[in-house]
Amino acid sequence: PQLIHTGAVVQQQASIKIGEGSVVCACSVITTDVLIGKHVLINLGCTIGHDVTIGDFTSVMPGAHISGNVTIGKAVLVGSGAVILNGVRVGDQAVIGAGAVVTRDVPEGMVVAGVPARPLVNKH
């Protein structure tokens, strides 16, 4: 089953799909037209904007903010306090460093950090 804390806000429940085994922690907000895959962690105090897709096995750490129309691939790690701006695509197995501000697409397997986020290494 999915686990959604009673302190989380799921605004437009009819337009939000949350996969099996996923967890949404307290103080997180999920807006509208959101698709969250299987076994995804939305940690404490995260915001998920409109028209967002989050792939299976992704972890969004505390205080991260994902803007509208963002696509996040499978097995991605979004670090604490990171911000992903509108329209960005994040490839499978990418890592977004804590506090990073992602303004551009992140390729599969890329590790990015900083403000604005810049590539550090490609895991592939």
Using a cut of 0.85, tell me whether the model's pTM lies above it. yes
Q: Looking at the predicted structure, is the pLDDT value of residue 121 above 80?
A: no
Alpha carbon 120 to its chain's center: 20
Instruction: Give the pLDDT confidence score for residue 77 in this predicted structure.
Output: 98
Q: Looking at the predicted structure, is the pLDDT value of residue 123 above 70?
A: no
Residue type, 41: L
Mean pLDDT of 81-85: 98
- Examine the residue annotation and report whether 50 is marked as an active-site residue of this protein: yes
Instruction: Give the pLDDT confidence score for residue 25 in this predicted structure.
Output: 97
Cα distance between residue 91 and residue 55, in whole Å: 10
Residues in CB range of 75: below 8 A, 6 or more apart: 55, 56, 57, 58, 92, 93
Nearest to residue 19, comparing CAs of 44, 42, 36, 41? 36
Among residues 5, 50, 65, 124, the one annotated as catalytic is 50
Q: Looking at the predicted structure, is the pLDDT value of residue 122 above 80?
A: no
Instruction: Give the pLDDT confidence score for residue 68 in this predicted structure.
Output: 96
pLDDT in tens, 12-55: 888 999 999 999 999 999 999 999 999 999 999 999 999 999 99
The number of residues in the chain equals 124
